[in-house]
């Protein structure tokens, strides 16, 4: 009876309950956090087999390309931030592909194309994901591609039950007539429903070539030839050389400090600079004193977003083709000037130069994953098709959709992001990393141009409001997908009285569901000084953070 009473006391040690729905995963071993449980499990099994966080990230990403095909896959791009525990060094990988050498803005304008979003097959840039796997593997990997891609190949060959949020019936109308889509993603004439088995044997074949030959199994040989032939038939001038000569780039992460923490992002051609500028602007205000998701805090954050994104759109492009003022954009003095533009009594509905006000379209179909191993190595990785299934175009016999990342190029002359041969477009996808002392957090939140603003909100949740990595992911968020106007979307968990106060300041609020996918889906892992690891996964997705199991020695029969 006494034991029962103690158990009851333990159950009510927090009589007020908590706002956090899920607990963190906590272990001394590794953790893999992704948006689909089969992918998290694939990565965790690699850790159990003796692989490290980088091995686990490759395995999880390859599996996500099978089980979450609208969001990512071999036809998309990849970025990663890697913390190497033995050296204490942070590395950043940009594996975003370039435009074909034969594609120019002048050519498309001559064809009457004035908007890259409507440029069909011309939006396909060289996919960078597989080259990214190779670069990660060459620098840090310990397991063979044959082992790392085995789970992805299994699910592609044998099938898997489609999960709730990932199910893609909504893509039928958009892509049913897109070349190659129905044959690949609509077996029997329809997209699979929740719980229905889906197989992709052509994708299994493409993955097997990479398992056998590494990047050469994608950028040379049969797969490359199929991609080029297919794209040429639809007007895109991509060549075998465009694929074969592409190489990822190891770059130096960019960073700023936020109230004693250091925040790292990938430098341009990504939007990571906008997250840093937004945080620098927010730091000029006592966000923590205002209260979490209070009208005052949200007003500052929304206004900071508008200013930071205005600058990002104006200046960011491929740094190999244009000089990007990175140091100025992330400087504290520049942020102070921009912060002074925020009117505490009124929303700014015109934060952009007029000529850029129409650049408000964005895809948001992306995956983000985090891995950590027992030694403290951390991978923060993001991979994407851009829009749902990218272009939706699938070269016969390949099994994966080709990205539409080129849709982010501008066709206006002499802009940092103007389309040019072998140039990389402005990129929305960004992994992130947060550190203070011996505490390190690999995190990210997918969702097109939602990402930088979601990163800033996540950091504020950790730093200003003392949340753990799971609570910070779950907390209600806002997002503004456009670059002009005062429109902003908010989850319904933000109180009605707060929304009313913001409306009185001029914000035009659209209320979304309590855990809306519009706000993006994130994952996070953390390492603290004691060597304990923590994992978190966003309830807005289908995934979870899965820990590595302990090493077990199986005894022979008769042994004790």
DSSP, collapsed to helix, strand or coil, labels residue 546 as: strand
Strand partners, 263: 256, 434
The number of residues in the chain equals 560
Measure CA 490 to chain center: 20
- Please name which of 483, 491, 488, 493 lies closest in space to residue 519, comparing C-alpha atoms: 491
Q: Which of the residues 63, 104, 184, 366 is marked catalytic?
A: 366
Torsion angle defined by CA atoms of residues 409, 414, 420 and 425, in that order, rounded to the nearest 10 degrees: -30
Whole-number Å distance between alpha carbons of 34 and 67: 11
Whole-number Å distance between alpha carbons of 61 and 435: 24
Whole-number Å distance between alpha carbons of 52 and 83: 12
Measure CA 277 to chain center: 19
If you write DSSP's letter for every residue of 496-540 in order, what string do you get?
A: HHHHHHHHHTT-EEEEE-TT-GGG--EEEEEE-TTS-EEEEE-TT
Task: Report the side by side order of strands in the sheet with 249-251.
Answer: 249-251, 89-95, 77-84, 378-386, 365-372, 31-34, 544-547
DSSP, collapsed to helix, strand or coil, labels residue 479 as: strand
Would residue 366 show up in a list of annotated catalytic residues for this protein? Answer: yes
Report residue 498: phi and psi, to 5°.
-70, -45
Report residue 550: phi and psi, to 5°.
-75, 155
Cβ atoms of residues 212 and 146 within 8 Å: yes
Residue position matching structure tokens 């050469």: 216
Residue position matching structure tokens 């992001």: 417
- Please name which of 424, 538, 402, 449 lies closest in space to residue 124, comparing C-alpha atoms: 402
Angle at 356 between CA 355 and CA 358, to 5 degrees: 100
Measure CA 4 to chain center: 46
* C-alpha distances in Å from residue 161, one per residue of 37, 167, 508, 517: 11, 10, 40, 21
Whole-number Å distance between alpha carbons of 492 and 480: 15
Measure CA 517 to chain center: 13
Q: Tell me the longest C-alpha to C-alpha distance in the chain.
A: 85
Whole-number Å distance between alpha carbons of 96 and 131: 9
Strand partners, 511: 490
Whole-number Å distance between alpha carbons of 365 and 358: 21
Whole-number Å distance between alpha carbons of 144 and 278: 41
- Please name which of 375, 378, 380 lies closest in space to residue 81, comparing C-alpha atoms: 380
DSSP, collapsed to helix, strand or coil, labels residue 187 as: helix
Catalytic residue list: 366
């Amino acid at each position: 009876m006494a034991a029962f009473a103690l158990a009851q006391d333990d159950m009510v040690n927090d009589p007020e309950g908590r706002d956090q729905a899920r607990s963190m995963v906590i272990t001394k071993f590794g953790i893999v956090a992704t948006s689909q449980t089969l992918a998290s499990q694939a990565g965790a099994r690699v850790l159990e087999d003796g692989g490290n966080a980088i091995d686990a990230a490759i395995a999880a990403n390859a599996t996500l390309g099978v089980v979450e095909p609208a969001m990512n896959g071999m036809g998309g791009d990849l970025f990663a931030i890697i913390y190497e525990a033995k050296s204490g060094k942070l590395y950043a990988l940009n594996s975003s592909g370039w435009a074909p050498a034969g594609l120019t803005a002048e050519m498309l304008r001559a064809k009457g194309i004035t908007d890259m979003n409507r440029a069909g097959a011309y939006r396909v840039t060289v996919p960078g994901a597989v080259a990214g796997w190779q670069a990660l593997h060459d620098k840090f990997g310990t397991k063979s591609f044959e082992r790392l891609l085995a789970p992805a190949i299994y699910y592609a060959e044998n099938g898997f039950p489609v999960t709730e949020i990932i199910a893609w019936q909504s893509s039928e109308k958009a892509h049913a007539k897109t070349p190659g889509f129905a044959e690949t993603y609509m077996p029997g004439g329809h997209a699979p429903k929740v719980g229905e088995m889906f197989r992709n044997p052509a994708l299994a074949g493409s993955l097997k070539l990479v398992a056998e030959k590494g990047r050469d199994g994608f950028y040379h040989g049969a797969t490359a030839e199929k991609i080029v032939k297919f794209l040429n038939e639809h007007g895109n001038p991509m060549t075998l050389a465009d694929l074969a000569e592409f190489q990822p780039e190891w770059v130096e992460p960019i960073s700023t400090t936020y109230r004693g923490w250091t925040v790292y992002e990938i430098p341009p051609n990504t939007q990571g600079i906008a997250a840093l500028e937004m945080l620098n602007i927010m730091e000029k205000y006592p966000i923590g004193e205002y209260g979490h998701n209070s009208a005052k805090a949200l007003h500052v954050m929304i206004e900071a977003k508008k200013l930071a994104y205005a600058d990002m759109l104006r200046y960011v492009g491929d740094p190999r083709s244009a000089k990007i003022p990175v140091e100025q954009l992330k400087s504290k003095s520049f942020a102070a000037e921009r912060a002074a533009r925020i009117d505490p009594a009124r929303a700014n509905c015109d934060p952009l130069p007029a000529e850029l006000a129409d650049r408000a379209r964005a895809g948001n179909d992306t995956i983000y994953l985090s891995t950590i191993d027992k030694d403290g190595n951390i991978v923060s990785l993001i991979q994407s098709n851009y829009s749902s299934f990218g272009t939706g175009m699938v070269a016969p016999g390949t099994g994966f959709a080709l990205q539409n990342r080129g849709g982010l190029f501008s066709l206006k002359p002499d802009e940092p992001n103007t389309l040019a041969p072998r140039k990389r477009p402005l990129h929305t996808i960004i992994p992130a990393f947060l550190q203070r002392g011996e505490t390190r957090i690999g995190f990210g939140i997918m969702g097109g141009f939602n990402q930088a603003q979601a990163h800033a909100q996540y950091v504020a949740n950790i730093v200003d409001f003392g949340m753990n990595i799971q609570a910070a992911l779950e907390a209600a968020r806002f997002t503004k997908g456009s670059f002009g106007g005062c429109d902003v979307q908010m989850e319904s968990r933000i109180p009605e009285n707060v929304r009313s106060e913001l409306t009185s300041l001029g914000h035009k609020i659209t209320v979304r569901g309590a855990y809306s996918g519009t706000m993006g889906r994130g994952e996070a892992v953390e390492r603290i000084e004691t060597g304990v690891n923590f994992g978190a996964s966003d309830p807005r997705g289908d995934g979870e953070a899965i820990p590595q199991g302990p090493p077990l020695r199986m005894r022979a029969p008769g042994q004790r």
